[in-house]
Amino acid sequence: MTIEDSDWELASAYHDRELPERDARAFEGRLKHEPTLVATLEEIRSLSSSLAMLHPGANRPMVPGPERRWPVRTGLTAAIAAGLVGLALLMEWPTQTPTPLEVHAGFATMTEARPAAVVPVAVSIAADWPDLESANLTTVAVRDLPDGAAAYYVGQNGCRLSYFRMRKAGALPTQDGIQATAWSTSDGTYHLVVATGMDAGKFEAIGTYLRQIALRMSAPSVVAAVRSAAQAAGPCIG
């Protein structure tokens, strides 16, 4: 069972105490017999709490917007633009289904072996993926997979991150040195974020940001939290 955009708006408004009393009572009545609506409200509460811990004092109400394509970046930071000067997306990948860690490692190997062939992907491709410029990361590769797709982000201080959108859920990577977070959305998509050696606060902020965008709950305070965490983060290791 999926949640309608109108119910996202109602749940968000109820959470932020913006509903008129009559509408709030009606919403509470629905909560008694609609478990999907209850789960939606709990998700909003959880995300709100996560954001408050990431960026105290910046937790303004989250207003879900209509479903849309990812925002197109208007520019790159000077350091990224200077350091990433070509990308080859014409790589040969193994024919067997790779694991997320193998995909992430393959992205890293590709960019490290061919540093002079790394540039941001075309705007038409990047538009299908979240803009992480606020975290000093830019999309430099996208790969179609048998069960979904993955985007690879590269940034300052050696930071590298892979974001997967898959049709089937998988086990969360637990290997030493691997940072990973995952969630599922009501349309059945499994989302997975993988990084290595990234500042813990920065990774957590990015994961929260991507999750909220996937749930159509982006807000200015989320971007502010990501930018703040990125500015405070140290260099990525590994």
Q: List helix spans (H) across the chain.
A: 5-15, 21-31, 35-54, 78-83, 100-113, 123-126, 200-214, 220-232
Q: pLDDT tens digits, residue range 155-214? A: 877 789 999 999 988 888 888 889 999 998 888 899 999 998 888 888 988 888 888 888
Q: Mean pLDDT of all residues in the chain?
A: 71
Helix axes 5-15, 21-31, angle to 10 degrees: 110
| SS3 per-residue string spanning 127-175 | CCCCCCHHHCEEEEEEEEECCEEEEEEEEHHHCEEEEEEECCCCCCCCC
Band the pLDDT of 37: cuts 50, 70, 90: confident
Please state, in angstroms and as integers, the Cα–Cα distance from residue 44 to each residue in 10, 40, 207, following that order: 11, 6, 15
Residue 128 sits in the same domain as residue 238: yes
Predicted confidence band of residue 112 (pLDDT cuts 50, 70, 90): low
Q: How many domains in the chain?
A: 2
Co-location of 14 and 118 in the same domain: no
- With CA atoms as reference, report the closest residue to 138 among 119, 124, 113: 119
Helices 35-54 and 200-214, axial angle in degrees (round to 10): 150
Determine, yes or no, domain membership for 68. no
pLDDT tens digits for 46-99? 666 655 554 444 433 433 333 333 333 434 333 333 333 334 343 444 556 789
Is there a single domain that holds both residue 90 and residue 163?
yes
Whether residues 140 and 233 fall in one domain: yes
- Which tokens sit at 105? 């490692």
**Residues 173 and 219 placed together within one structural domain of the fold:** yes
DSSP secondary structure letter of residue 96: S
Same domain, 5 and 96: no
**Residue 88 is encoded by which pair of tokens?**
């080859």
Q: Are residues 102 and 165 in the same domain?
A: yes
In a domain, 74, yes or no: no
Q: Which phi and psi (to 5°) does residue 215 adopt?
A: -95, 10
What's this model's pTM, rounded to 2 decimal places?
Answer: 0.58
Q: Do 50 and 84 reside in the same domain of the chain?
A: no
Are 117 and 32 found together in one domain? no
**Domain of 36, in residue numbers:** 1-54
User: Of 39, 54, 69, which residue is a domain's last?
Assistant: 54
Whether residues 102 and 192 fall in one domain? yes
In a domain, 65, yes or no: no
Alpha-carbon span 131 to 164, nearest angstrom: 14
Residue 149 lies in a domain: yes
CA 40 remoteness from chain centre? 18
> Is residue 125 located within the same domain as residue 216?
yes
Answer yes or no: is pLDDT of 145 > 50: yes
CA–CA dist 118, 113 (Å, integer): 10
